[in-house]
Amino acid sequence: MLLGACQLAEMPLAFVLMAENDTRPWGLYVHVPWCRRRCPYCDFYFEVGRPKAGFADALMEEWLSRRPEAPSRRARTLYFGGGTPSLLGTAEIARIVDGFKADGALAADAEITIEANPEDLVGPDWLCHAWHDNSFPFTRVSLGVQSFSDATLRWLGRKHTAEQARSVVAALAVVPGLRVSVDLIVGVPDEDRDALAADIAWLAAVGVGHVSAYLLTVEENTPLKKLIARGARQTPSDDAQADAYIWLQSALTSAGFNQYEVSSYAVPGQESVHNRLYWSKGDYIGVGPGAHSMRLQPDGSVTRRHNLGNLALWLENPAAPQHTTETLVPGQALLEALAFGIRDMQAGVDPNALARRHGVALPLGLEPAVDGLAGRGFVRNSQNKLYLTPQGALFADAVSREFLALD
């Protein structure tokens, strides 16, 4: 039997939630809504331009107004995303981090991450002053390199050069106590795989411990979609994308990076705590325009919140920003936890534990669905936990849809 001796399909729906919910880790997210320019493939919320003065104070105003939403325990992670958080000055960012620390919101050993573009980190305010004299608060930096090929960077509409990217990566990789993650986009038409393989080997050699590698996707309502429609860019084929993904798995694994999530590879011990929090459907509170939040409720339901992606409106009243909320009833929350949790290929998902967390019975269709997925080589069952296989990672979206469709 897939689910072992504990037959949760027969449990009463009013199952009492376990006390362990009170100790689950949670995280903080800060959305910085500015970019120098719009990358053609990007569909995130941002404003083109320089950060406005007073952003840190406004952000803290929102946080203090929402402090009652936070769990009583301290956050294990703080993540600066966007947008381009590295556009903020070091003093502004330090005020935000210090504000969370002074309020007692952050654990002493919290992972603190900033997303950054290479071109923003070449000046003395960042590399020479902020990190090398140990005055900056981050434990991890996620660099939006995307490629070390100038031709590919031009195709993607990126602002930095390959030389700038290499210089910044090499400089950060030797900063004591700082974990460096590099984002790559693969599957770009006319990609040079020999060069990409050499780049991956170089990342491992200089001490980069984490790589997030994404297939190029063409989102609706993006400049890239319009460029392709005009014939100014080539459409990436599905077959080429699948081939690129399989090749990438082999190349990164051979270089010493373990695939622990569908798009994430790490040297053992350097996995992203914040990203794993998302996949496990842990609690997080997002502040800033366009930020998302999620909270597990005592009855096993889940509440999601999304701040309106409008900087001007947010600045008018950051203590009470316009937002939307959505509640998933416990059964829906369970299916979502299965669908997203399976993407963490190392941790896997424990259906029994998730059913207890949400206080509901497992759907009767889960076992035959898992049997079918296992028969195709997409998932494996070990000690009543489900894991996505390397082959299944290529079809992760389809696997997730199958879980979400269960009755």
Q: How far apart are CA 351 and CA 364, in angstroms?
A: 12
- Hey, is 168 helix, strand or coil? helix
The answer, yes or no, to whether residue 130 has pLDDT greater than 70, is no
Residues in Cβ contact with 88 at an 8 Å cutoff, skipping those fewer than 6 apart: 32, 51, 55, 56
Give the residue among 289, 390, 194, 189 at the shortest CA–CA distance from 305. 289
Report CA-CA distances (Å) from 283 to 75, 97, 360. Answer: 10, 19, 19
pLDDT at 10 over 80: no
CB 324 within 8 A of CB 308: yes
Give the model's confidence band at 20: pLDDT under 50 very low, under 70 low, under 90 confident, else very high: very low
**What is the architecture, at CATH level 2, of domain 298-404?**
Orthogonal Bundle (1.10)
What is the arithmetic mean of pLDDT over 84-92? Answer: 84
User: Is the CB of residue 30 less than 8 Å from the CB of residue 288?
Assistant: yes
| The pLDDT of residue 18 | 34
Residue 342 · residue 399 · CB < 8 Å: yes
Instruction: Give the pLDDT of residue 191.
Output: 87
pLDDT digits 0-9 by tens, 353-376: 999 999 999 999 999 999 999 999
Q: What is the pLDDT of residues 267-300, one digit of tens each?
A: 999 999 999 999 999 999 999 999 999 999 999 9
Taking CB atoms within 8 Å and a gap of at least 24, the contacts of 150-154 are 151/190, 152/185, 152/188, 152/191
Model pLDDT for residues 26-39, shown as the tens digit of each residue: 999 999 998 887 77
Domain 18-277 has CATH 3.80.30.20: yes
* E strand map for 83-154: 106-116, 140-146
* Contact present, 214 and 188 (Cβ < 8 Å): no
Alpha-carbon span 205 to 203, nearest angstrom: 5
Scored b (16 or more CB within 10 A) or e, 363-395 reads beebbebbeebbeeebbebeebebbbbeebbbb
> Quick one: what percent of the chain has pLDDT higher than 90?
67
CA 77 to chain centre: 12
With contact defined as beta carbons under 8 Å apart, do 366 and 301 qualify? no
Q: Where are the domains of the chain?
A: 18-277, 298-404
CA 257 to chain centre: 18
Measure the CA dihedral 384/369/277/382, to 10°.
20
Residue whose structure tokens are 């996995």? 271
Query: Over the stretch 46-82, which tens digit does the pLDDT of each residue have?
Result: 788 888 889 999 999 999 999 999 998 999 999 999 8
Residue 129 confidence class, pLDDT cut points 50, 70, 90: very low
Between 306 and 135, the more confident residue is: 306
pLDDT band (50, 70, 90) for residue 21: very low
* Pick from 248, 250, 275, 222: nearest CA to 111: 275
The answer on pLDDT for 221 being more than 80 is: no
pTM over 0.75? The answer is yes
Average pLDDT, the chain: 87
- Cα 369 to Cα 25, 123, 246, 279: the distances in Å are 30, 53, 25, 21
Q: Is the pLDDT of residue 8 over 70?
A: no
Across 83-104, average pLDDT: 89
Encode pLDDT of 146-205 as tens digits: 999 999 998 888 889 999 999 999 989 988 889 999 999 998 888 899 999 999 999 999
Choice between 38 and 115, residue whose per-residue pLDDT is larger: 115
Q: What is the pLDDT of residue 50?
A: 86
Residue 280: DSSP 8-state: T
Q: Is 147 in contact with 162 (CB distance < 8 Å)?
A: yes
Task: Give how far Cα 14 sits from Cα of 111, 326, 330, 358, Å.
Answer: 36, 22, 11, 10
